[in-house]
A and B are shown apart, each in its own frame.
Chain A
Amino acid sequence: MLIPAFLALLSAPLLPPVTLPPLTSPELQSHVFAVEQALEKGDFVKANTLAATLPRRAPQILWDERKVPAAQREEFRSARDNALQTWKRLAKVGGVFSPTGKDLKISFEPELAPDLDLEGPAPVVAFISQTAPRVESVIGLQRGTPLLPATPIDVFNGVLYSLGSYYGLARNQVTATAMTLGPNGTSTPHGISNIEASAARQLMAAFDNLRLAVKNKQRMRAGKATAFVDPAQFRGEVVQGDDIEMPVQITNTGNAPLSFAVEGDCGCIVTEPPGTIPANSSQIVQVKLDTKEFLKVTERRIRVFTNDMSQPVRIIPVMLDVTPRFRFISPGGSTFEMGEKAAEFDVYLSIADGVDAEVVQAGLSGVTGKVVGEKWSGDVTDPDTKKTVPVKKGYKFHITIPGPLPSARSMVGLNIATNLAASPNLSFPLTIQRGIVALPEELYVGELGKAPKVSHVTVVRAGAPLKVKSVSIDAKSMTVKLVPQVKSTEQRIEVIYDGTAPSGDLSATITIVLDDPRQPEIKVPVVGSVK
């Protein structure tokens, strides 16, 4: 009776190996592989024994704080509970602290051995076995270089990592996630990343399936996934605003399903959703990079997470030299000084090769003026580098601002409308300065206290000498005085706070009396606060 049943069992089709999510730890994969092997052989007793120590959603945790100084125990427990709550909230997994906990043990030691990836002692180590306690985690009470005592934040990070290790997650290479170790000696709070939370949830579901197969004595094929990821890096020159396509080919050279998730290190990288690749198959994952916000040398990273136990996280560096799509060049600089008459100057717009753009409108904001634009190519001198810039394709804008403007500094925008949907508006900021001006226009003195503090205002007139007849301020706690003049076109004024103002916002006005009948005085508002 038993033999035919056993033969029937052997001849039944094998279940496929379980699909583990990206970022599953190698140790857990080995454990699962061992269960699968036992099922494949029909050794259900062994499979049952091994499956008994697979991670559960609510493990029994032994918290051994005997080596923690008594004064710190309460705050460490609080950090521990926060970490557990964080896992519960984000991944629907948790745990129960118990003096007889046998699934996970968390203890402390004064100092752990150096971590190969960090310069200094490991902050936490997790040891995984197939016997109880399945995971033993040790948190270092001193860590980093220099060696510093662990803080509650360090303990929070250590417990996050310990729990993640129990659930079956691998160490992560991304900064400040639950499964990241380090930074070294810095008490930085970590958080559970989306991929980590998702992996923990998927692992629990996978273990449920595996336990069910063991319970039902279903035979299963054992398998391991292995990933080959191509390319190793992306390099290139692009024009700003282009969408760059960077296909990543992931090949599963193993004999179990390979699960993957691809993500960029910023929202500018758009990838396809996570997926699974059958054994001996490949998939191309489309990765797009939006370069609108980039300029010059740009470095980004694509991260490929898999359930390949030899390398669960791979980083593909992206190195781009981004040429601006449009570039304004103003040979006269960005600040223009006006006399009594109109100001006239030219601004050039260079359009990168391969960008098919036309200017459809040009105008000024902040001031009344006229802009005449024409298509133009030639050489312009960059005022910053003093180098000649060849404009192969572009426009020349002749700007006329009629005088007289009020004596002041005016922020002016040269606004260009183009026919490109991706860049419909371009704006080049210019400053028009006429007459005598005080800089800064508003004096921010910052936060003041009981100590005296000195600030400065500079009065300037471009191209002509100026003379300040007197200066005064309407605040009891402040005095003003003229600094001996070095340049005839410039006068510095010292603003001295004496430390006596009452707490609260501070507001005053400096009055500068000039010897120019067209501009007899300038008023400069003063703002700040007193602690």
Chain B
Amino acid sequence: MKWWAAAVGAVGVAGALTPTPPAAWFLVVAGDTDGYLSPCGCTAPMTGGIRRRATAIRDLHKRAQVAYIETGGLGGTPGRQAQMKAETAAQAAAGLGVAAINLTERDAALGMGTLSAVADLSGGRLLSTAVEPNVVPGVVRYREEGPFLFGGAVSEPGGLSNKLGAPVTPPEEAAQTLVAEAKRRKKVAVLMLSGDRTAAEGVAKAVPGLGVVVYRASGDPDRKGLKVGETFLVTPGERGKYMIQLSLVNGRLGAYSPIKLGPEYADDPATDRIYRTYLRRVEAARLLEKLPRAPSAEFAGAATCGSCHAKAMAVWKKSAHSHALTTLEKLGHGRDPDCVECHVTGLQWQRGFQSRVTTPQFAYVGCESCHGAGKAHALNPAMSPMPKVGSQACASCHLPDQSPNFRFSTYWPRVSH
């Protein structure tokens, strides 16, 4: 016997290898998308996005029965684009057979009309155990899928109550209701809580009998599962970059696994179709043109800068900054305000980029993206010196989500001038 054989379990070969119909369940917790429907795709390896999530969930469906839930917070910062994002996320989730989506204060901030539309698009999967039925048309109190009963609550009921104009019960009360209902239906109670880990721990301690409490957290999810008593505390982390998978085998929950939605996951074609519709809607609504812009000094454009700073111009022309908008357009995100801001000069300023047609001189990341508006300097360099800028200037765009491998020490030499 080889010495490694001691580590190999004694399982019959032929019988064990025959695929059997899956009897166990995967509980898949996704969400906290917060409007991050897709990486812009301009750098690698960006993480997350509803299209990769769909591929991962479809893969899991091939391996066992899946109950997939979304923690809510679909759209991000309230506004017209957030409404479109929430609708798109709900439609994509429904297409994947989502079991439940929690109604959070961030979703409610989109307004009752959008909320009702999201409930419709989710196929009746939007829920809140903390809100009386019929407060929001189409929102239910529980949802059942396989061995699980899902409920939802918020850690600070005031915010949701204010936005809905209706009473919202505290999370402990919602959890008790859920546990009682789950006991009656002989299901595992899963509470989606819009609140942080401390709040989740509080609910899990106060209400025994919960199988899982899902909570919100920034950063990546924990590599190992947390438990309070017999209750799992799980979070998918921020902006939908991970999903969490738990297994339910013979009535026992376990095998906590975070799934990172990296570029190894291809885009799911069906969800890609939905996402492309979203991009078309964003373009048709001309959201880029409608962005709020602050008063600003006048920009000069990189060509003007280059007339004196020839050496810097030569470096810039060879850099990705000089064709940053083109890069984005090739990826289909050229009209998405979320992405465009970091691919042009001065989008947030009244005298900066407006469109490729009206302001072609700003249709790239130019000198003034970092150094600020420079028309006054161009007219009178001595009287209006341009400020020296440091690594902070890079950090406004090279953020963790958009530029995960950014290191000033390695990136700066590429554009040093």
Query: Which A residues are closer than 8 A to B by beta carbons?
Result: 67, 69, 109-113, 118-122, 125, 127, 136, 138, 141-142, 144-146, 148-149, 151, 173, 175-176, 182-191, 194, 265-268, 270-273, 290, 292-301, 333-335, 361, 363, 365-366, 383-387, 411, 413, 415, 417, 421-422, 424-425, 427, 429, 431, 438-447, 454-458, 460, 492, 505, 527-529
Are A417 and B295 closer than 8 Å at their CB atoms?
yes
- In the bound complex, residues from chain A placing their C-beta under 8 Å from that of B400 are 266-268, 293
- In the bound complex, residues from chain B placing their C-beta under 8 Å from that of A290 are 395
Q: Tell me if B59 is interfacial: C-beta within 8 Å of chain A.
A: yes
Are B219 and A301 closer than 8 Å at their CB atoms?
yes
Are A293 and B260 closer than 8 Å at their CB atoms?
no
28 CB contacts below 8 A, A to B, read: A112-B8, A112-B9, A113-B7, A146-B64, A175-B258, A186-B245, A187-B63, A188-B259, A188-B260, A189-B262, A191-B264, A267-B403, A295-B218, A299-B219, A335-B111, A363-B294, A365-B293, A366-B290, A384-B158, A384-B163, A415-B294, A439-B112, A439-B116, A443-B117, A444-B121, A444-B281, A447-B274, A456-B137
5 closest residue pairs by CB, A with B: A439-B113, A413-B292, A183-B257, A146-B24, A189-B264
A115 to B95, CA, bound (A): 36
Most buried by B among A125, A411, A446: A446
Interface window among B76-84, B184-192, B323-331, B361-369 = B76-84
CB < 8 Å: which of A67, A136, A527 contacts B13? A67
Q: Tell me if B162 is interfacial: C-beta within 8 Å of chain A.
A: yes
Q: Mark B4-21, 1 if CB is under 8 A from A, else 0.
A: 101111011100110100
Q: Tell me if B109 is interfacial: C-beta within 8 Å of chain A.
A: yes
Known: A110-B17, A446-B121. A146 touches B249 (CB 8 A): yes
Are A270 and B407 closer than 8 Å at their CB atoms?
yes
Closest residue of B by beta carbon distance from A382 = B158
- In the bound complex, residues from chain A placing their C-beta under 8 Å from that of B80 are 411, 441
Q: Tell me if B2 is interfacial: C-beta within 8 Å of chain A.
A: yes
- In the bound complex, residues from chain A placing their C-beta under 8 Å from that of B138 are 456
Closest residue of B by beta carbon distance from A413 = B292
Known: A138-B4, A413-B292, A417-B294. A149 touches B24 (CB 8 A): no
Closest residue of A by beta carbon distance from B399 = A293
Are A267 and B219 closer than 8 Å at their CB atoms?
no
At the interface, is chain B mostly helix, strand, loop or mixed? mixed
Closest residue of A by beta carbon distance from B79 = A429
Known: A439-B112, A456-B137. A186 touches B60 (CB 8 A): yes
CB < 8 Å: which of A138, A294, A458 contacts B8? A138
Are A411 and B79 closer than 8 Å at their CB atoms?
yes
- In the bound complex, residues from chain B placing their C-beta under 8 Å from that of A421 are 392
A366 to B392, CA, bound (A): 30
A188 to B260, CA, bound (A): 8
A529 to B2, CA, bound (A): 60
- In the bound complex, residues from chain A placing their C-beta under 8 Å from that of B137 are 456, 492
Most buried by B among A69, A176, A194, A272: A176
Closest residue of A by beta carbon distance from B77 = A429
Task: Number of B interface residues at 8 Å Cβ cutoff, please give it.
Answer: 98
Q: Tell me if B148 is interfacial: C-beta within 8 Å of chain A.
A: no
A387 to B157, CA, bound (A): 12
Are B11 and A110 closer than 8 Å at their CB atoms?
yes
Are A385 and B159 closer than 8 Å at their CB atoms?
yes
Q: Tell me if B273 is interfacial: C-beta within 8 Å of chain A.
A: yes
- In the bound complex, residues from chain A placing their C-beta under 8 Å from that of B113 are 438-440, 457-458, 460
The minimal Cβ–Cβ distance linking A181 to chain B, given in whole angstroms, is 11
A190 to B258, CA, bound (A): 13
Are B117 and A529 closer than 8 Å at their CB atoms?
no
Are B8 and A109 closer than 8 Å at their CB atoms?
yes
A149 to B84, CA, bound (A): 40
Are A268 and B255 closer than 8 Å at their CB atoms?
no
Q: Tell me if B398 is interfacial: C-beta within 8 Å of chain A.
A: yes
Closest residue of B by beta carbon distance from A67 = B13
A120 to B247, CA, bound (A): 11
Are A148 and B4 closer than 8 Å at their CB atoms?
no
A201 to B163, CA, bound (A): 57
Closest residue of B by beta carbon distance from A363 = B295
Known: A383-B162, A440-B113, A457-B113. A365 touches B292 (CB 8 A): yes
- In the bound complex, residues from chain A placing their C-beta under 8 Å from that of B91 are 444, 446-447
Are A270 and B408 closer than 8 Å at their CB atoms?
yes
- In the bound complex, residues from chain A placing their C-beta under 8 Å from that of B293 are 365, 415
Having A146-B247, A173-B223, A411-B290, one finds 14 other A-B pairs with CB under 8 Å, namely A109-B9, A119-B254, A122-B7, A127-B4, A148-B63, A270-B408, A270-B409, A271-B407, A384-B105, A387-B158, A438-B113, A446-B94, A446-B274, A527-B277
Q: Tell me if B404 is interfacial: C-beta within 8 Å of chain A.
A: yes
CB < 8 Å: which of B83, B105, B260 contacts A176? B260
- In the bound complex, residues from chain A placing their C-beta under 8 Å from that of B16 are 110-111, 141-142
- In the bound complex, residues from chain B placing their C-beta under 8 Å from that of A146 are 22-24, 64, 247, 249
Q: Mark B89-123, 1 if CB is under 8 A from A, else 0.
A: 00100110000000001000101111011001100
The minimal Cβ–Cβ distance linking B400 to chain A, given in whole angstroms, is 4
Closest residue of B by beta carbon distance from A360 = B295
Known: A186-B60, A366-B292, A447-B273. A69 touches B9 (CB 8 A): no
Most buried by B among A125, A146, A431: A146
Closest residue of B by beta carbon distance from A438 = B113
Q: Tell me if B32 is interfacial: C-beta within 8 Å of chain A.
A: no
Are A455 and B117 closer than 8 Å at their CB atoms?
yes
- In the bound complex, residues from chain B placing their C-beta under 8 Å from that of A176 are 260, 262, 264
The minimal Cβ–Cβ distance linking B337 to chain A, given in whole angstroms, is 12
- In the bound complex, residues from chain B placing their C-beta under 8 Å from that of A113 are 6-9
Are B255 and A119 closer than 8 Å at their CB atoms?
yes
Q: Of residues 235 to 262 in B, which have CB atoms within 8 Å of A's CB atoms?
A: 242, 245, 247, 249, 254-260, 262
Are A175 and B111 closer than 8 Å at their CB atoms?
no
Are A145 and B112 closer than 8 Å at their CB atoms?
no
- In the bound complex, residues from chain A placing their C-beta under 8 Å from that of B399 are 267-268, 292-293
Are A110 and B13 closer than 8 Å at their CB atoms?
yes
- In the bound complex, residues from chain A placing their C-beta under 8 Å from that of B120 are 454-456
Closest residue of B by beta carbon distance from A444 = B87
CB < 8 Å: which of A138, A299, A425, A460 contacts B218? A299
The minimal Cβ–Cβ distance linking B394 to chain A, given in whole angstroms, is 10
- In the bound complex, residues from chain A placing their C-beta under 8 Å from that of B408 are 270
Are A110 and B7 closer than 8 Å at their CB atoms?
no
A127 to B6, CA, bound (A): 12
Closest residue of A by beta carbon distance from B278 = A444
Known: A109-B8, A366-B290. A182 touches B257 (CB 8 A): yes
A455 to B123, CA, bound (A): 10
- In the bound complex, residues from chain A placing their C-beta under 8 Å from that of B295 are 361, 363, 415, 417
Q: Tell me if B355 is interfacial: C-beta within 8 Å of chain A.
A: no
- In the bound complex, residues from chain A placing their C-beta under 8 Å from that of B78 are 334, 429, 431
Known: A267-B400, A440-B113. A149 touches B19 (CB 8 A): yes
Closest residue of B by beta carbon distance from A333 = B162
Q: Tell me if B304 is interfacial: C-beta within 8 Å of chain A.
A: no
A445 to B285, CA, bound (A): 16
Closest residue of A by beta carbon distance from B198 = A297
- In the bound complex, residues from chain B placing their C-beta under 8 Å from that of A141 are 16-17
The minimal Cβ–Cβ distance linking B377 to chain A, given in whole angstroms, is 16
A290 to B395, CA, bound (A): 8
Known: A142-B16, A146-B24. A183 touches B11 (CB 8 A): no
- In the bound complex, residues from chain B placing their C-beta under 8 Å from that of A109 are 8-9
A443 to B121, CA, bound (A): 11
- In the bound complex, residues from chain A placing their C-beta under 8 Å from that of B176 are none
A227 to B404, CA, bound (A): 28
- In the bound complex, residues from chain B placing their C-beta under 8 Å from that of A118 are 255
CB < 8 Å: which of B9, B257, B258 contacts A111? B9
Known: A268-B399, A458-B112. A145 touches B219 (CB 8 A): no
Q: Mark B348-367, 1 if CB is under 8 A from A, else 0.
A: 10000000000000000000
Are B162 and A384 closer than 8 Å at their CB atoms?
yes
Most buried by A among B63, B197, B405: B63
